[in-house]
Amino acid sequence: MSKILVVDDERNIVELIRLYMEKEGFETICAYTGDEALSKFREEKPDLIVLDLMLPGTDGWQVCREIRKTSGVPIIMLTAKSETFDKVLGLELGADDYITKPFEAKELLARVKAVLRRTGTQEAETQKEVTFNNLSINIENYELTIKGAVVDAPPKEIELLYFLASNPNRVYTREQLLEEVWGFDYFGDSRTVDVHIKRLREKIEGAEDGWQLKTVWGVGYKFEIKK
């Protein structure tokens, strides 16, 4: 049984999510502040976190930052704001998905299941590391090494680069990458992929040696091995 931590200061929203999750067989832990969320995260070790951004005191952004220091647990952010800035900031901090309030509980449930499916797929993979000149991506300990130095990167950036590098010279559309790396397609926003690719390019700048993270205009992206 997967364990879900639901964090929101609006108790009626937490209760609604809890009812839907438990009906689907998930164990649900509830928290109403950022500090309580961090405490329950450490105690309960959830499989996924549904995290509201606008929390009193320690807000959702701070909670996400703290969790990402030690864990790659999937995080779905809830926000009352629809501005691109909030979505992009959440993704850059390492969130796996976001959903804007008001939302349908069924849509949130579908996203939770999709993220958990993807997590299960990764755990089943036998290959845990891919290596090229100046580049190593280890998906078991979520470690990205560039030119021999470990580089800080959110889990989703590492997963995206790992997926592309594991399938060299194959072009993927943004929608395919959303489905393969994030585990959803219908609910995805293609800008999510662009944000992560941009951040990855900043990290690997000057390291490319016989390989390239390449844009295929009008199609998508590929990890190109140069002949």
pLDDT band at 227 (very low <50, low <70, confident <90, very high): low
* pTM, entire model: 0.56
Render pLDDT for 19-67 as a digit per residue (tens, 0 to 9): 989 888 889 999 999 999 999 999 999 999 999 988 888 998 899 989 9
Sign of the CA dihedral 151, 63, 120, 174?
negative
pLDDT of residue 3: 92
Domain co-membership, 62 together with 146: no
User: Domain boundary at 63, 98, 123, which?
Assistant: 123
Residue 210 has pLDDT above 70, yes or no: yes
pLDDT band at 94 (very low <50, low <70, confident <90, very high): confident
Q: What is the DSSP letter of 179?
A: I
Domain co-membership, 77 together with 159: no
Range of the domain at 161: 127-225
Domain co-membership, 151 together with 97: no
Domain co-membership, 105 together with 13: yes
pLDDT of residue 56: 85
Among the listed residues 65, 181, 69, the one whose alpha carbon sits nearest the alpha carbon of residue 115: 181
The sheet carrying 172-173 orders its strands as 172-173, 220-225, 211-216
Domain co-membership, 112 together with 148: no
Q: Which residues pair with 31 in a beta bridge?
A: 7
Of 5-14, 18-27, 86-95, 149-158, the one with minimum mean pLDDT is: 86-95
SS (H, E, C) 5-59: EEECCCHHHHHHHHHHHHHCCCEEEEECCHHHHHHHHHHHCCCEEEEECCCCCCC
Domain co-membership, 68 together with 114: yes
Domain co-membership, 221 together with 133: yes
Residue 12 has pLDDT above 90, yes or no: yes
- Number of structural domains in the chain: 2
pLDDT of residue 184: 53
Q: What is the CATH number of the domain that holds 168?
A: 1.10.10.10
Estimate to the nearest angstrom the gap between the alpha carbon of 186 and the chain centroid: 16
pLDDT of residue 38: 95
pLDDT of residue 18: 92
Domain co-membership, 88 together with 131: no
Residue 101 has pLDDT above 90, yes or no: no
User: Domain boundary at 123, 138, 164, which?
Assistant: 123
Give 1's contacts (C-beta < 8 A, 6+ positions apart). 25, 26, 27
User: Domain boundary at 123, 144, 170, which?
Assistant: 123
pLDDT of residue 31: 96
Residue 122 has pLDDT above 60, yes or no: no
Domain co-membership, 49 together with 12: yes
Domain co-membership, 70 together with 100: yes
Domain co-membership, 214 together with 197: yes
Percent of the chain with pLDDT over 70: 86
Residue 132 has pLDDT above 70, yes or no: yes
What integer best gives the mean pLDDT of the chain? 85
Of 30-34, 75-79, 90-94, 130-134, the one with minimum mean pLDDT is: 90-94
Average pLDDT of the residues in 170-191: 75
Domain co-membership, 20 together with 109: yes
pLDDT of residue 221: 95
